[in-house]
Amino acid sequence: MSAQTQQIRAKYDEKHPSISPDIILKLEHAYAMDCTDKEACLFAGTTLSTLYAYQRDNPEFGERKEILKQNPILKARTRVVTAVETDTSAAQWYLERKQRDEFGRQVDVNVNETRHLTVAQIDLQISELVKLLGYERPQDAEVIDAEMVQEDSGDATN
């Protein structure tokens, strides 16, 4: 048991004798497995309200809980990095995820889809596009478009 855990337990036991050092140890064990608060309470044999009262009175326990929850990630990372040294497929997998621009798999997706929209759906999409373009009303966009067409046709004659 770490010195930090002992300090947390001693401080809490003074204020709340209902949480024993054994329960705290079980909670820490559950959090080291990345359990949720509900799962940790079930594992430790306590209630959520008791846990939250403990955390309120001992904010350092909440910090410790978040650190403990990183344990499975650290174990997985250690395993992956160790595998990279001897396993080519693991090395490739790692690079594909960590250096996507250079090693990631390129996927081209071409979707040709026909959708039948109602007039109301079309009006809604037009309104959203008009707002994205910064116009107040759809009519303003039409006027601008007409002006752009006139400018384009005028440029073609010059």
Helix, strand, coil percentages for the chain (3-state, nearest 5):
75, 0, 25
**What is the structure's pLDDT at 157?**
47
**What is the structure's pLDDT at 158?**
46
Together in a domain, 25 and 51: yes
Is the pLDDT assigned to residue 12 strictly greater than 80?
no
**What is the structure's pLDDT at 109?**
66
Together in a domain, 58 and 87: no
Structural domains in the chain (count): 3
Matching residue, tokens 């046709």: 153
Together in a domain, 14 and 48: yes
**What is the structure's pLDDT at 71?**
94
| Angle in degrees, 0-180, between the axes of helices 71-86 and 88-98, rounded to the nearest 10 | 130
Q: What is the pTM of this model?
A: 0.52
pLDDT digits (tens, 9 = 90+) for 129-158: 877 777 766 565 555 555 555 555 555 444
Q: Report yes or no on 114 lying in a domain.
A: no
Together in a domain, 57 and 14: yes
Q: Report yes or no on 111 lying in a domain.
A: no
Average pLDDT over residues 78-93: 89
Q: For residue 44, what are the domain limits?
A: 3-69
Together in a domain, 50 and 79: no
Together in a domain, 10 and 48: yes
pLDDT digits (tens, 9 = 90+) for 22-31: 999 999 999 9
Contacts of 126 (CB under 8 A, 6+ apart): 138
pLDDT digits (tens, 9 = 90+) for 100-132: 888 877 766 676 777 787 888 888 888 888 777
